[in-house]
Amino acid sequence: MGIIVKQTIKGSIWSYVGVIIGFVTTTYLYTEYLTPDIVGLFGILIAYSNLTGRLAGLGFQGVTTRLFSYFRDKEKGHNGFLFIALVFHIIGFSLFLLLYFIFSPSLVDLNMDKSPLFASYIYLLIPFTLANLIFLFLDTFNKVLYDAVFGVFLQEFLQRILIFSITLMFVFQLITIHQLILGYAAVVSLKALIILVHLWRKGEINLKPDFSIVDSKMKKEILNYALFSLIGGFGSMIVFNIDKIFVNHLLGLENTGVYTIAFYFGALVALPSRSLLKISGTLIADAFKEFDINKIKEIYYKSSINQLIIGGFLFIGIWSNIDNILIIVGEDYLASKWVIFFIGLGYLIDMSTGANGIIINFSKYYWVSLLFTAILIVVVVALMYFFIPIWGITGAAIAIAASLLLNNLMRYLFLFWKFRMQPFNWRFIAAIAFYIAVYFLISLISQQKLVLDIILRGAIITISSLLFFGLFPISEDSQKIVKKLMSKIKL
* Greatest mean pLDDT among 112-126, 197-211, 388-402: 388-402
Choice among 116-130, 226-240, 242-256, 348-362 with the minimum mean pLDDT: 226-240
d(CA 49, CA 67) in angstroms, rounded, equals 26
pLDDT digits (tens, 9 = 90+) for 231-251: 777 666 776 778 888 888 888
Mean pLDDT computed over 84-95: 90
The sign one gets for the Cα dihedral 194, 200, 202, 204 is: positive
* pLDDT confidence bin for 426, thresholds 50/70/90: very high
What is the Cβ-side half-sphere exposure of residue 165, based on CA atoms within 13 angstroms? Answer: 11
Give the C-alpha distances (Å, rounded to integers) separating 190 from 61, 154, 193, 196: 20, 9, 5, 10
Amino acid 490: pLDDT: 59
* pLDDT confidence bin for 34, thresholds 50/70/90: confident
d(CA 206, CA 110) in angstroms, rounded, equals 44
Amino acid 176: pLDDT: 92
**182 has pLDDT over 60:** yes
Give domain limits for the chain: 2-490
Give the C-alpha distances (Å, rounded to integers) separating 21 from 14, 115, 158, 325, 386: 11, 28, 10, 15, 36
SS3 181: helix
* pLDDT confidence bin for 10, thresholds 50/70/90: low
Amino acid 5: pLDDT: 55
One-letter amino acid at 135 equals F
The better pLDDT of the pair 312, 228 is held by 312
Choice among 38-47, 93-102, 127-136, 279-288 with the minimum mean pLDDT: 279-288
